[in-house]
Structure 1
């Protein structure tokens, strides 16, 4: 009988059998921003004030305010339908406001050229790689390092346009390494983040990118709502830079964070 062995976490290269789960996680990594944005707005002071005001107005209109003394405690319980009936449409409205920009970014992510053939695309440069963080038999994170000659091209393939065999081959077989590396994708399961897995993933990505002497800068686009990842990047000496688009009606900005080789080497030498 085999002995029980503790599960362990390790980082490995992408394998062909990972495609279905990886694509799901890439969509999840973007749609996670919708949940973060909605929660930020649900508990915003202005939202809470509007919710309480509309609940009170509705209860007043229904004749539930003020509670009748003869009803005792039940008189206050009877106000709950007003509270909840006003909360639900507000939640739907907030989700509707945020959803379109998140879904657009999700679609663009899944339409980028690297999604045509993941292993082939990330084999075009020795400094590229698509890494999987695994715990036991479960994938709990991923990071994609694009060091190819077109690593700074962030344009997705146009919807409805299909490449023929030759166009696809030309796109996927162009060899070379760029001075600027882009971390295309980065995600970790929320339940494991407190264990520091984001730092493990980003450090592995940095080492891979800077393993080629030609690479001088690493960049990654980050949602302002992913606070643990931003904290991890700053700890790794990334610097906040220019905007990379906005989310929702409040205009939360994705930002490019960059790390220069010189700064990374200076930090490693301390």
Structure 2
């Protein structure tokens, strides 16, 4: 019989927790790079550039399809295919080359934040703060870190890290993780009037949907990233009075 249960627990000071935390936070940011690349490959502008360059290559190489000149008959119509494939590979490389610095920079910034130097101490400064790990049995599922150390001055809490493994996202288990962090912050500190997070709609739709279900709303503030600035990181805000209590 499977007696595994899901639980949310505070991060501990053990080496295994520390390594897992850093790995998950780094993975969350670099995962966005893969998503951004895939979306760029299918963008109409990129497809148009690929088609034009491929046709130019076909013209230069004189690889236009021609059945009557080919010993293989109708297979002569396949002559342009190598040109399209040859152009696609360097174009995909250029997209990754353009996007990667933006996302690697965000990854390094996330990993070098002061809260990760000693997270158990940092998030232990205020009862409204916390760094929690979600597990199913002994399997890691996700994490969330909410910083409310300056809530008395700013009246705000801030979600610094939020990640759930891809295999569990369709179950919306990330909702439980977010609700736990939000409830703890509001219940432990009457000074907190709002909680903020970072919402990348196109890159992490499961996180965006989770925020929306909890009552968070997008602000007008955002930072652009990647090729042509297509991907935007918005500030999302949950006001105390708009909190959905469940």
TM-score, scaled to structure 2: 0.90
Q: Which is worse superposed, 52-61 or 33-42?
A: 52-61
Shift of 1:31: 1.2
RMSD: 1.9
Q: Which runs of 5+ in 2 are unaligned?
A: none
Q: Specify the alignment match of 2:131 in structure 1.
A: 130
Superposed CA offset, 1:224-265 (max 9, x none): 32122111111111111142422123223211111111221x
Q: Which runs of 5+ in 1 are unaligned?
A: 152-175
Q: Specify the alignment match of 1:208 in structure 2.
A: 184
Q: Is the 8 A contact 1:147 1:180 kept in 2?
A: yes
> d(CA) in 2 for partners of 1:74 and 1:139?
52
Q: Is the 8 A contact 1:246 1:253 kept in 2?
A: yes
TM-score, scaled to structure 1: 0.82
Q: Does 1:238 align with 2:239?
A: no
> d(CA) in 2 for partners of 1:75 and 1:201?
58
> d(CA) in 1 for partners of 2:161 and 2:99?
21
Q: Specify the alignment match of 1:41 in structure 2.
A: 40
> d(CA) in 1 for partners of 2:85 and 2:3?
46
Q: Is the 8 A contact 2:146 2:159 kept in 1?
A: yes
Superposed CA offset, 1:82-140 (max 9, x none): 12110011111111221111111111111111011011111000011111111232212
User: 1:3-42 maps to which residues of 2 (within 5 A)?
Assistant: 4-15=1-12, 16=14, 17-42=16-41
Q: Specify the alignment match of 1:184 in structure 2.
A: 160
> d(CA) in 2 for partners of 1:52 and 1:43?
12
Shift of 1:27: 0.7
User: 1:16-95 maps to which residues of 2 (within 5 A)?
Assistant: 16=14, 17-69=16-68, 70=70, 71-95=72-96
